[in-house]
Structure 1
Amino acid sequence: MTPALHGPQLTKTGVSLRLWAPAARKIEAIVQGHAHVMTRTADRPGWFIVDLPGASAGLTYRFRVDDGNDVPDPASAFQPEDISGPSEVIDHAAFRWQAKNWRGRPWHEAVFLECHVGAFTPEGTYRAMIERLDDLVGTGITAIELMPLADFPGARNWGYDGVLWYAPDHTYGTPDDLRTLVDQAHLRGLMVFLDVVYNHFGPEGNYLARYAPSFFNDAETPWGRAIDYTVSEVRAFAIDNALHWLQNYRFDGLRLDAVHALHEPGGLAMLGELSQAVARLAAETRRHIHLVLENDDNRASLIRPAEPASAAPFSAQWNDDYHHAWHVLLTGETHGYYIDYARSPERLIARMLKSGFAYQGEASAHRGGQSRGEPTKGVPPAAFVTFLQNHDQVGNRALGDRLEWSADPKAIEAALAITLLSPMPPLLFMGEEFGARTPFPFFCDFHGELADAIRRGRRIEFAEAYDAYGNEVPDPLADSTFQSAKLHWHQRDATQRERHALVTALLAVRRTEIIPRVKEASFGEGDIQPDRTLHAEWRLAKGEALTLLANISPRLATRIHLPIRGRPIWGGHPPERLPPWSAFWVIGGQ
């Protein structure tokens, strides 16, 4: 691979520091109180560089811009004193990996558990997560997906306010602690994915505009000025970052947050370049490396295998439609974006089991009648990550409440039986595998005017909830709000143990019956009856078919009279009258 442009480089004789600062007149590297003038490079406009002979890993430094304030390296490898402290040089090659022969797992084996490092355990560290890995393997999880780690301000954050993209947040441990977590997961056969945010920087600690204002353009995002990916150095900053996580930390894949919020005239060329760079890395290292999108625009062209190489190889997209339709069906909520699923959520569930997205170009009421999505013809089931809960859909509620707070447990179990055995790769949100009731509210650690602005914004966004619950709505800035989100691994009651047994049993069936057959799966039929009797069928390899019959209602329903060929793998043979909230799976010849 081509060496990264950004960040410090260890050389044979010392350390080389570099910074792209096209608007600066002078840049100095401040090392142990001494200023080292950086030289403009002749071959790359806007770049400054300085070589420090005899320096080594562990060196800390800042950059001084035009004799003004000192700032961290935007490509800092580690910030031991948070975002405004000195940057530390890290020797990524010094770590001794134990899982030396790990090459990852193929995409069709993915069963995700999304995790927040700080809330996953009482300790909230990378190393503390290792103690729970055996539990996840025993449950049937094959991949953990970490919420963003890029260094953020303060001691607690969801991670989407990161400002130093290359530095894993010090709150959770050191870079080698993170590598140890990844290594230990690999030794257990677990893939590890990382959520990365390339659509904005957080509101505090981003100094790029001072010396590289061309990093941004005049377009606005929900989080401020948009990043300008038409600038080659800016594109390289994001692409190098993706390769940084995949090479130096050996993540098995990345989930790219909200790519619909990227502003790039003429399309999403940066995504194409990034995917090609990752494809080259995978080929050179013979690793399975996977890229997953979050894209509210439902652009099927980005995950359609037949598209040109410039739009590949994104393995899949999070299917928010799937969550939204199920949430409406299970809870009856129809406010906000749920209005698009209010009329007939069961019909949309059937459509997604038949072809992927619920919205494939249809008008969206929530978006003022604008069309949303692209047709999914030719896109395989494996390209749609399905889930009933995730950090967004739990955390972006006033109370951070999970489905367990409002939905019928039997209905949730039926939804899990459908989600965990369908050919689409499933994702669970940490604790969902045992029916956790722990909230996951929004939390952060800002101060002063920014903290007050966040409080005001939350009160406006969730005005009805504040009217209904008053002081019960958690303060997003309070440490107690963060503490309330931590999972209680040792306090699971009998009901939670039963839920965990159910999920474990479902994933055991997925491991033995679905995963060996799902690689070549394609969509087939799908329909829903007025009594909410659901039927779906997928074509598998070697002429086999996977068939689902389900009753997604609280009432007894009459079975759809279709020839059911094959052997039951879940629920037994479908009876003439389907019990409330029941699911039956059969594998057989077409």
Structure 2
Amino acid sequence: MTRIDRPFEPSDLQFQWGATKVGDGRWRYAIWAPAAQSVELVLNGIAHPTTSSNGWYWAEIPAEVGDTYTFRINGNDRPDPAARFQSGDVHSPSVLTEVTPPPAWDGMSMEDLIIYELHVGTFTEEGTFKAATAELEHLAALGFTAIELMPLSQFEGNRGWGYDGVLIGAPHNAYGSPEDLVALVAKAHELGISVILDLVMNHFGPSGNYIGEYCPEFFHQTDTPWGAGIDFSRDEVRHYFGDIAMRWLEDYGFDGLRLDAVHQISEEGHRPFLISLIDAIRAKDWGRPIHMITEDERNLPHLRDAGYDAEWNDDYHHTVHCTLTGEDFAYYEPFAHDPIGDLKLALERGQVNEGQKRPAGKPMGASAGHLPWSAFVNSNQTHDQIGNRAGGERLIALSNDTAARVLHTLLLCSPFTPMLFMGEEVGSAAPFNFFVDFEGDLAKGCREGRARELASIGHDASKMSDPTDPETAAASYPFRPEDTPHRADWEQLTKDLLTFRKERIVPIVKSGEKGLTDAEQIGEEGIYVAWPFKGGQICIALRLRPHNPELRGKAGPFPNHMLHFPDFAVGDLTTDPYAIAVKVIS
């Protein structure tokens, strides 16, 4: 048997994980199970023998799309870890699936992206791909140019965030079918919206992960905060995740991936997996831009230097959060000493932590000032920062409406890549809670573990909603009828800002950067920033009154050109505690 070609570095890998159509109605079913004593392929309930070599077991058997199959390993039926769809939950037989990609389209540049992060299960009352598709026209009318879907990989139960997926390549069937997902992507493209998938490759969830039974070599001795660490030094492991990542892009037409917590992906071995992955993606002509975004708490530029487009910028979020809330526990502590100064630094440099000594904690990060502004995905709120609170409170519930509007304007008018979390566009104050669909001991362990985790980072765990209660998930739906008047006003602000960004900000950003950013702190409450570009300047002056009374002072004199006839403004810089003015100079 000859080796199947891979887009990654050469290896002696014989097979591709899972079910692959090989022609004439025949399918090859392959699994790497080096610890297995026996493996059979069970197709539509009928067992078939497999051939084995070097820990691989495979069979070639005629079948049709829609047939179900499992691998019977040591007498136990297990789903295909590389399944494309499931007949039921994570313990059920897998389904032979072929996906027809959506029609080709030209895509969007990184500079054009205004990202809307959403969770399919709570974005609509129905919680399905079809229901989300019906809302895309509204998002397009507001001016959003990208949506980022929280993880879709099949996980235990019907409801959950998705970060505990165990069948990484199978869309969660409680949301709908693969065809429904293709239809969502196709509709988004029709409306000029890119679609980015949040993909977790650093760990598996706690229920339905059977790989360790028959393939302990898949894991190494160092655990992640969420489970067993994965051994990316093994070619079989690298190709498992790499092939699935490419498959999401190829089969469903996604325009990019947001890779979760890449600092937990080990870089051992002959070549770092993340570098192999980006090289493979960049080597292919997709006919559209593919946006590769990372979450990486190390604050290092090396992955963006290697070809990744951007990184979630927690530094920006933390400075905003500490300014408006005064919170100073856990990872907020370093940003609570001088949040206005840190925000000025984030606007000037992109990030705050660049390896220098900080008021609290160890130095981290490295200089990222050479990167384009689009390489920083800035946000005032994300699922992570809202949901990992005992009460799931949004920023607007922790501060005030006026302050939230000022930060909304700053986010959407600065040259970085902006991202909003669902509901933020209408000023929603609804919580976004942590929730799962576990039962028995697993549910009990989740409740207790969640309470311990929250208490360890300074939250009052007594305020925590039961993550296993269906009402906890239902309460996370962000659009409430009683918010209608407030919602209409916020929605208009969002639409005005997105129109302004498209017409005035984006053309300047696309003209190319030119020279150093002019940034200065104005008194103790003000910031002035001017970003130079070949096509002109984007200038922002803002005043934010820190929540902590000890940090409050007066804003000094702002430049005259920001006080008179700004292009966009919220509040009055000379009198209001929260205000912002934006001016674009062509």
Normalised TM-score (structure 1): 0.91
Q: Does 1:359 align with 2:353?
A: yes
Distance in structure 2 (CA, Å) of the matches to 1:172 and 1:131: 14
Q: 1:584 aligns with which of 561, 581, 586?
A: 581
2:16 matched to 1:5? yes
1:143 is aligned to 2:146: yes
Residues 1:541 and 2:534 are matched in the alignment? yes
2:68 to 31, 54, 60: 60
1:457 pairs with one of 443, 449, 460: 449
2:333 paired with 1:339: yes
User: Paired residue for 2:94?
Assistant: 87
Residue 10 of structure 1 contacts residue 57 of structure 1 at CA under 8 Å; is this kept in 2? no
Distance 1:318 1:467 in 2: 24
- What residue ranges of structure 1 are gaps of 5+ in the alignment? 305-310
**In 2, Cα distance between the equivalents of 1:251 and 1:476?**
30
Q: In 1, distance between residues paired with 2:564 and 2:460?
A: 52
**Corresponding residue number in structure 2 for 1:502:** 493
Q: Does 1:559 align with 2:568?
A: no
Deviations 1:389-439 (Å, cap 9, x if unpaired)? Answer: 000000000011111212121111111111110000100000000011111
Aligned mates of 1:338, 1:551 — CA distance in 2: 21
SS at 1:343 equivalent = coil
Aligned to 1:569: 567
Instruction: For structure 2, list consecutive stretches of 5 or more residues without a partner in the other structure.
Output: 8-14, 547-552
1:307 equivalent in structure 2: none
- The aligned residue for residue 33 of structure 1 is 45
CA contact (8 A) 1:122 1:487 kept: no
Structure 2 counterpart of 1:332, which letter?
G
Displacement of 1:463: 3.9
Q: Which residue of 1 aligns with 2:550?
A: none
Q: Is the 8 A contact 1:558 1:578 kept in 2?
A: no
Asked if structure 1 preserves the Cα contact closer than 8 Å seen for 2:525 and 2:554, the reply is no
Cα displacement (A) at 1:488: 2.4
Could you say which residue in structure 2 is the equivalent of 1:517?
A: 508
Q: Secondary structure at the match of 2:18?
A: coil
Deviates more, 1:495-504 or 1:5-14: 5-14
The whole-number CA distance in structure 1 between the counterparts of 2:33 and 2:461 is 49
Task: Please report how far the alpha carbon of residue 294 of structure 1 lies from its aligned counterpart in structure 2 after TM superposition.
Answer: 0.3
Are the counterparts in 2 of residues 127 and 181 from structure 1 also a CA contact under 8 Å?
yes
| Residues 111 and 506 in structure 2, CA contact (< 8 A), matched pair in contact too | yes
CA distance in 2, matches of 1:280, 1:399: 45
Identity among equivalent positions (%) equals 37
Residues paired across the two proteins, number: 566
Change (3 A) 1:403 1:564: closer
2:164 maps to amino acid = D
Alignment of 1:190-339 (within 5 A): 190-265=193-268, 269-281=272-284, 284-304=285-305, 311-312=306-307, 314-339=308-333
Deviation track 1:87-119 (CA, whole Å, cap 9, x = no partner) reads 0010113x6x3xx24121111100011000000
Specify the alignment match of 1:51 in structure 2.
60
Residue 118 of structure 2 aligns with an amino acid whose one-letter code is C
Q: Does 2:521 correspond to 1:528?
A: yes
Contact 2:389–2:459, Cα closer than 8 Å, also in 1: no
Q: What SS does the aligned partner of 2:430 have?
A: coil
**Bigger CA drift: 548-557 or 182-191?**
548-557
**3-state SS in 1 of match to 2:64:** coil
Alignment match of 2:80 (pick from 66, 73, 87): 73
* Worse-superposed segment, 193-202 or 30-39: 30-39
Sort the Cα spacing of 1:576 and 1:147 in 2 relative to 1 into closer, same or farther, 3 A. Answer: closer
Q: Is the 1:567–1:588 contact (alpha carbons within 8 Å) kept by the matching residues of 2? A: no
Once the two structures are overlaid, the 10-residue window that deviates more, 491-500 or 83-92, is: 491-500
Q: 1:370 aligns with which of 359, 362, 367?
A: 362
SS in 1 for 2:567: strand
Separation in 1 of the partners of 2:482 and 2:472?
Answer: 19
How many Å apart are 1:459 and its aligned residue? 2.2
Matched, 1:154 2:173: no
1:10 CA displacement? 1.8
Deviation at 1:587, TM superposition (A): 1.9
Q: Please give the secondary structure, in 2, of the residue aligned with 1:361.
A: coil
Give TM-score scaled by structure 2 length.
0.92
Q: Deviations over 1:20-76 (max 9, x none)?
A: 1122232111112211111125xxx322211112x111010000113x211100000
335 and 58 in structure 1: CA distance in 2 versus 1, 3 angstrom threshold? same
State the alpha-carbon separation in 2 of the partners of residues 467 and 288 from structure 1: 41
CA separation in 2, counterparts of 1:72 and 1:57? 16
1:467–1:364: structure 2 CA closer, same or farther, 3 Å change rule? closer
Change (3 A) 1:579 1:514: same
Q: Provide the secondary structure at the position in 2 that maps to 1:172.
A: coil
Which whole-Å CA distance do the structure 1 matches of 2:87 and 2:94 have between them? 7
CA displacement at 1:498 relative to structure 2: 0.9
Q: Is the counterpart of residue 480 in structure 1 residue 471 in structure 2?
A: yes
Choose from 120, 132, 137 the match for 1:129.
132
Q: Provide Cα deviations, 1:517-566, integer angstroms capped at 9, x if missing partner.
A: 21323651212123322111111124x11111111228873433477699
Give the conservation status (yes or no) of the 8 Å contact 1:10–1:56: no
Displacement of 1:339 in angstroms is: 0.2
**What value does the CA root-mean-square deviation take over the aligned residues?**
2.4
Please tell me the residue identity of whatever aligns with 2:473: F
Secondary structure of the corresponding residue to residue 372 of structure 1: coil
Mean alpha-carbon deviation: is it higher for 151-160 or for 458-467? 458-467
How far residue 15 of structure 1 moved from its aligned partner, in angstroms, is 1.8
Secondary structure of the structure 1 residue equivalent to 2:183: helix
Q: 1:142 to 1:576 in 2, by over 3 A?
A: closer
Task: Give 1:377 shift.
Answer: 3.0
| Worse overlay, 234-243 or 23-32 | 23-32
Alignment CA distance shift 1:564-1:497 (3 Å): closer
Gap change, CA 1:203 and 1:226, over 3 Å in 2:
same
The verdict on how the C-alpha distance between 1:235 and 1:365 changes in structure 2, with shifts beyond 3 A counting, is farther
Asked whether the 8 Å contact 1:557–1:580 carries over to 2, the reply is no
Distance across 1 between alignment mates of 2:396 and 2:86: 38
